[in-house]
Amino acid sequence: MKQTAQIYIIIAIIAVVAIIIVASNAFYVIDIKSQGVITQFGRPVKVVTEPGLNIKTPFIQKVRYFEKRIIEWDGEPSDILTRDKENIGINTWARWKIVDPLTFYTSLGTEDRGQGVLDEVIESAVKNIVSSYPLNEVLRNSNRKLEYTTVELEKAEMDKKVKVAHGRNSLVKEINKMANEGLRERYGMELVDVRIKHINYVPAVIPKIFDRMRSERIRIASKYESEGRREEAQILGVMKKELEKIESEGYKIATETRGEADAEAVRIYADAYGKAPEFYSFTKTLETYEKTFDDNTHLYLGTDGDYYQYLKDYAGRE
């Protein structure tokens, strides 16, 4: 009896384990962020997109899970030549999702392969669209006036007659549309959005760009220096002119003042000498002798000379 009971217990345990194994293989769960494809001997037989507990044929059918949420895609930088022959590097990113799990499974099978398909279609679309537009269409969205640090740079921009007819946002929409063509029908995928992450000149061109920018700044600096020297010359010229004018007016005033003073002195002398004509004659004679003779001059006076008469009269008065 004991052996029979033990056998029954073992059989029961085996049955429970078998039931557990079969049940665990028969039931599967689709969560809210996933969707699944049921396959039987490798062939898809059912698609499950709604979350919940489901039943499948154990051991014969298998579940392949796929992401139901939006998936990230990050591309590699690619070199592109724009329509105006500017060699630039563009880095893009995108978001995509699986909209038809059955088509996706039969055409690709894994999300990694889906990423590989996007590598090709997005890169191709970016190159086709960007290469058909000039650089300013890729960089800018509108014709709004940019702020420049110098008037020369603003003038140079105006001289180039840069005009944005479409803008980057329009280009991105075109890229999205071109890259999306046929994705749903062929692969069961859909691009939600495509964006340009980064734009720059290729490394081989950057030194030339810097040299051109440096030359432009040197040209602007030289222009400022030239204008500064011209302004300096104008200021110095005006200053010299004003100084000469001031000196001329000062000299004029000084001359007039000196002339008035001399006239007044002459008038005073005339008044004084008019009252004593002999004294005037005497002083003028002395001034003449003082200017005429020096220490080496010998003077011989006649008795009829005026100077002798002055000396004689002066000695007589003494």
Q: Specify whether 83 is located in the same domain as 165.
A: yes
Best CA proximity match to 62, nearest among 25, 32, 33, 35:
25
Beta bridge partners of 193: 95
Q: Specify whether 192 is located in the same domain as 92.
A: yes
Q: Specify whether 48 is located in the same domain as 98.
A: no
- Assigned token pair, 65: 């899970």
Q: Specify whether 211 is located in the same domain as 199.
A: no
Q: Can you give the pLDDT of all 318 residues of the chain as single tens digits?
A: 556 666 666 666 666 666 666 555 677 788 899 999 988 887 888 888 888 887 777 878 888 889 999 999 998 888 888 888 888 889 999 999 999 999 999 999 899 999 999 999 999 999 999 999 888 888 877 766 656 555 555 565 655 666 777 888 888 999 999 999 999 999 999 999 999 888 887 776 666 667 777 877 787 788 888 888 888 888 988 898 888 888 888 888 888 888 888 888 777 777 776 766 666 667 777 777 676 667 777 766 676 766 666 666 654 454
Q: Specify whether 30 is located in the same domain as 112.
A: no
Task: Tell if the pTM clears 0.85, that is, is over it.
Answer: no
- Domain membership of residue 152 as a residue range: 71-204
Give me the phi and psi of 97, to 5 degrees please.
Answer: -150, 160
Total domains in the chain come to 4
Neighbours of 237 (CB within 10 A): 10
Q: Specify whether 245 is located in the same domain as 153.
A: no
Q: Specify whether 187 is located in the same domain as 303.
A: no
Q: Specify whether 267 is located in the same domain as 280.
A: no
Neighbours of 138 (CB within 10 A): 24
Cβ-based neighbours of 180, under 8 Å, separated by 6 or more: 190, 191
Q: Specify whether 81 is located in the same domain as 186.
A: yes
The CATH number of the domain holding residue 155 is 3.30.479.30
Q: Specify whether 101 is located in the same domain as 196.
A: yes
Q: Specify whether 213 is located in the same domain as 262.
A: yes
Q: Specify whether 185 is located in the same domain as 215.
A: no
